[in-house]
Amino acid sequence: MPLMTSEQYEESLRDLNLLVYLFGERIGNPVDHPIIRPSMRALAKTYDLALRPEFEDIMTATSHITGKKINRFTHIHQSIEDLVKKSKMGRLLGRETGCCFQRCVGMDALNALSIVTYDIDAKNGTEYYQRFMKYLQYVQENDLTCDGAMTDPKGDRSLPPHKQEDPDLFVHVVEEKTDGIVVRGAKAHQTGAVNSHEIIVMPTMAMREDDAEYAVAFALPSDAEGIIYIMGRQSCDTRKLEPTTMDVGNQLFGGHEALVVLDNVFVPWERVFMYKEFEFAGQLVEKFASYHRQSYACKVGVGDVLIGAVQTAAEYNGVEKASHVKDKIIEMNHLNETLYCGCIACASEGHREPNGTYAVNSLLANVHKQNVTRFPYEIARLAQDVAGGLMVTMPSEQDLRSPETGKWIQKYLKANPNIPTEDRMRILRLIENITLGAGAVGYLTESMHGAGSPQAQRIMISRLVQMNLKQAAAKKISGIE
């Protein structure tokens, strides 16, 4: 079954026995929980679009293992064209859902591991790459969603893993057995974790020999014994519990994050892809980070939705012809398309690794992600400027429906006489969702901190920019020998 339907995907989640907590209580059925379900629907779009003929070229690929058609989210990039299509896929899904669709992290983890496991074997004569390829075929054949888990809680940031007061603040091996290892720790900020079939755990930073027990990468079924999910809060998340839907803003889709606790979890050797090869931990982090920084093409798609909402709000408010409004919307488009330039550029300048996997240009991927930490915030600021203050002072949908207050809302919140008051309220709620509410987690905070902090990208830019070539060019032109 190389391609699942969204209905089959939903049923596959029901078959999992996840240990999930929200608001201090265990959730027996996360698939139907009103706060979590919108995130499941968003991820289900990755299955829906793969089966639509008009998106087949972008959403599917041919497995280099089996030759079968597979979902691109389970594919290992085999060409520059694959890297470019990945960016186009991210923009498409961002535009279709208006939020984070959660499946990129696992795709990026698979591609990074395909490179690094091969390189470890080439140096050490190990068998990680063979294990990984067998696991990859399993993921492809079953069209599984993988959660890429890299971020540890980290504890005291001034100390390396082995010097932490609590050794569990970084995931590490606590016992080695003949048939596998036992691990303990946690992974934070895990996007789409309870919507995933598999958890792929990777080290969170470069390691030294003293941290060898922390230099571990492996994959687990998401309902493996000892895994606990504690759901994160989002702004305005309890609006999803209300009987009406308009005040949510994005009525169908959303995202989620979770703290994933690994409480003495057993991992069989066939699912271990790095163990004590500390000298490769930094390479894995950098490969994954570069891929994942490219993945922020998704923010361009969400930007498309936000810009469309702002243009609509301007028309509903009757200000679409004002020169300053038109100029602000032009600036929003300029910033959004500049982001798209970055993700396409790092893909187009990609290269082939020794194992055949194509990797993005790391410098341009970091430059792209650095822009993502800034431009969406300016786009959101302009969106709020054009939308007006009613976006955050508007009465609820219940008040609109009330026989006592509805008539006053219909009367006094009307702007363009040709547009129903309810339509105006709906588009303003969407802008609120993306720039302030639950959707702002995926569009703004994720833009800032996802795939590493802004400073991490600046460090990589400083390493990769080849300043000596720039200086040599300047000296040559100025006549300095």
- Look up 320 and say whether it is catalytic: no
How does DSSP classify residue 75?
P
Q: In Å, what is the CA distance from 128 to each residue of 125, 277, 402, 467?
A: 9, 11, 63, 36
Check if 162 is active-site.
no
Q: Is 298 a catalytic residue?
A: yes
Could you confirm whether 331 is annotated as catalytic? no
- Of the candidates 286, 397, 432, 446, the residue annotated as catalytic is 446
Residues 6+ apart with CB under 8 A from 347: 80, 83, 84, 86, 87, 294, 360
- Active-site pick, 10, 96, 257, 286: 257
Q: How far apart are CA 118 and CA 140, in angstroms?
A: 19
Clarify whether 368 is annotated catalytic: no
Q: Which two tokens mark 413?
A: 């919140």
334 tagged catalytic = no
The DSSP call for residue 223 is T
CB distance 20 to 231 below 8 Å = yes
Given the residues 99, 100, 146, 343, the one annotated as active site: 100
194 token code pair: 């309870």
Q: How do strand 25-27 and strand 20-22 relate by DSSP bridges? A: antiparallel
d(CA 405, CA 144): 49
Question: E strands within 328-467?
Answer: 351-352, 358-359
Q: In the annotation, is 292 catalytic?
A: yes
* Residues 309 and 315 sit within 8 Å (Cβ to Cβ): no
- From residue 193, alpha-carbon distances to 103, 255, 405, 431 in Å are 10, 10, 42, 26
Length of the chain as a residue count = 481
Tokens of 371: 């822009």
Examine the residue annotation and report whether 349 is marked as an active-site residue of this protein. no
Q: Find all residues with CB under 8 Å of 132, minimum gap 6, and list them.
A: 113, 114, 117, 273
* Catalytic pick among 33, 189, 292, 368: 292
Task: Dig out the tokens for 322 from the structure.
Answer: 């004002």
DSSP state of 360: -
Q: What is the DSSP letter of 77?
A: P
Query: Which among 99, 298, 343, 346 is annotated as catalytic?
Result: 298
What's CA 28's distance to the chain center, in Å? 26
Is the Cα torsion angle 161, 166, 170, 174 positive or negative in sign?
A: positive
CA angle 339, 86, 38 (to 5 degrees): 85
Q: Judge whether 207 and 278 are in contact, CB under 8 Å.
A: yes
The active-site residue, picked from 296, 316, 340, 358, is 296
- The active-site residue, picked from 151, 191, 312, 435, is 191
User: 342 and 375 in contact (C-beta within 8 Å)?
Assistant: no
Selected catalytic residue, list 99, 104, 146, 343: 104
Task: Name 22's bridge partners.
Answer: 25
Q: Which residues are tagged catalytic?
A: 100, 104, 191, 257, 292, 296, 298, 446
